[in-house]
Structure 1
């Protein structure tokens, strides 16, 4: 019985890890909300900077894009925690940002979107 419970626990742990990673395919669909302003192509800017290589990139660092002072002075790299906070409530996470999007309300969409963004390298 203990072996069965241990096996079930291990399987559930795998599912939880996968859920925490986000579903990149679902995240690509969520990105459609972002696509009017952001490109996923390297070097291609729109109203907002490209999202290509965003994960791990210092905030406010796409060359040739005019960022708000707040973004230029953010002082962090776009890791999962910073992205999650910004995607949930951009103006709350980084007061003074130019981004007009109000944020994603569903945690699953945020996790999935980050999973997708991690593929853009």
Structure 2
């Protein structure tokens, strides 16, 4: 009986995770896609976000970053991305993310980060 329950719980977790990734994709489409893509090398108004976790801030080649972002001096991890997505002006003063002002909801940011991380596994 416990095996059946644990299997059912695992399946429900997997379903919930997929739903959260899908919601994160919708957040990306409504809040980020105007300026960013997730395809490597496809820079637009903003740099591509392909494999952003673990990348040095301001380091995508062939993209004209603000001097603030070029000099940010950190590597993107989930905590820093969460802070930046919540309030880019506070995290990197002088960045060029106008008119984006941030996502207030921690839950929404978590789903967006889950979406971005899910793309790493697809490649």
Higher RCO, Cα 8 Å, sep 6+: 1
* Distance in 1 of aligned mates of 2:83 and 2:71: 17
* Distance in 2 of aligned mates of 1:112 and 1:79: 15
Which residue is 1:36 aligned to?
34
* Distance in 2 of aligned mates of 1:119 and 1:97: 26
* Distance in 2 of aligned mates of 1:120 and 1:50: 13
User: What TM-score results when the alignment is normalised by the length of structure 1?
Assistant: 0.80
Q: List alignment gaps of at least 5 residues for structure 1.
A: 1-10
What are the within-5 Å matches in structure 2 for residues 31-70 of structure 1? 31-32=28-29, 33-70=31-68
| Poorly superposed stretches of 4+, deviation over 4 Å | none
Q: List alignment gaps of at least 5 residues for structure 2.
A: 1-8
Which residue is 1:110 aligned to?
109
Please give the secondary structure, in 2, of the residue aligned with 1:120.
helix
Please give the secondary structure, in 1, of the residue aligned with 2:90.
helix
Aligned length: 108
* Distance in 2 of aligned mates of 1:119 and 1:72: 26
Shift of 1:23: 2.4
Greater fraction of residues in helix: 2
Q: Quote the RMSD (CA, aligned, Å).
A: 2.3
* Distance in 2 of aligned mates of 1:114 and 1:90: 15
User: What TM-score results when the alignment is normalised by the length of structure 2?
Assistant: 0.79
